[in-house]
Amino acid sequence: MAFKSVVRRRLIRRMVTSAIVLAALPAAFVGIRAQITRNPLRSVSGAVTDGSREPLRGAVVQIEAEDTLVIQSYVTDERGTYHFRNLRPDADYRVWATFRGQRSKTQEMSKFDRKPDREISLSIELGKD
């Protein structure tokens, strides 16, 4: 008899423990989803222009993650526009453009900026060395 009651108690304990774990799983997934929602991926877009504010088609815009030094590139369209999507929320970035050997000033994008979508315009003075 004593053996059966010990086995029964262990079985009941395991069932209660399993029920508690199963009940807690949805709360864990809600927490993960909330974390993802709080830190959405970011993007940056803008236009590259010359000194007279004319768009520069074919300018190469580069963005560098400061922590990994990974660089992505984008060639501007006929309106001089560019865009980078799916940028990590926990990284700082540097953005610059080059066109025919000339380079724009480097712009910074901080991980502390609360806006997930940034617009950064870049200007290149042509004809200057």
With helix as H, strand as E and coil as C, how does the chain read?
A: CHHHHHHHHHHHHHHHHHHHHHHHHHHHHHHHHHHHHHCCCEEEEEEEEECCCCECCCCEEEEEECCCCCEEEEECCCCCEEEEEEECCCCCEEEEEEECCEECCCEEECCCCCCCEEECCEEECCCCC
Whether residue 99 is found in the same domain as residue 53: yes
Average pLDDT of the residues of the chain = 85
Q: How far apart are CA 55 and CA 121, in angstroms?
A: 11
End-to-end CA distance of the chain: 96
Whether residue 56 is found in the same domain as residue 92: yes
pLDDT exceeds 60 at position 31:
no
Whether residue 82 is found in the same domain as residue 25: no
Tell me if 129 is assigned to some domain: no
Q: What confidence score (pLDDT) does residue 28 get?
A: 62
Q: What confidence score (pLDDT) does residue 39 get?
A: 65
Q: In the beta sheet, which residues pair with residue 44?
A: 84, 118
Instruction: For the chain, give the number of residues.
Output: 129
Whether residue 71 is found in the same domain as residue 109: yes
Whether residue 71 is found in the same domain as residue 117: yes
- Both tokens of residue 66? 């400061």
Residue 65 makes CB contacts below 8 A (sequence gap 6+) with 87, 88, 91, 92, 93
Whether residue 55 is found in the same domain as residue 114: yes
Tell me if 71 is assigned to some domain: yes
Whether residue 34 is found in the same domain as residue 64: no
Whether residue 34 is found in the same domain as residue 54: no
The mean pLDDT of 12-30, rounded to a whole number, is: 71
Whether residue 120 is found in the same domain as residue 108: yes
Whether residue 119 is found in the same domain as residue 83: yes
Q: What confidence score (pLDDT) does residue 54 get?
A: 95
pLDDT exceeds 80 at position 29:
no
pLDDT exceeds 60 at position 129:
no
**By residue range, what is the domain housing residue 22?**
1-38
Q: What confidence score (pLDDT) does residue 64 get?
A: 97
Whether residue 64 is found in the same domain as residue 108: yes
CATH code for the domain in which residue 51 is found:
2.60.40.1120
Tell me if 49 is assigned to some domain: yes
Chain segment 38-83, per-residue pLDDT in tens: 668 999 999 999 989 999 999 999 999 999 999 999 999 999 999 9
Specify the number of domains making up the chain. 2
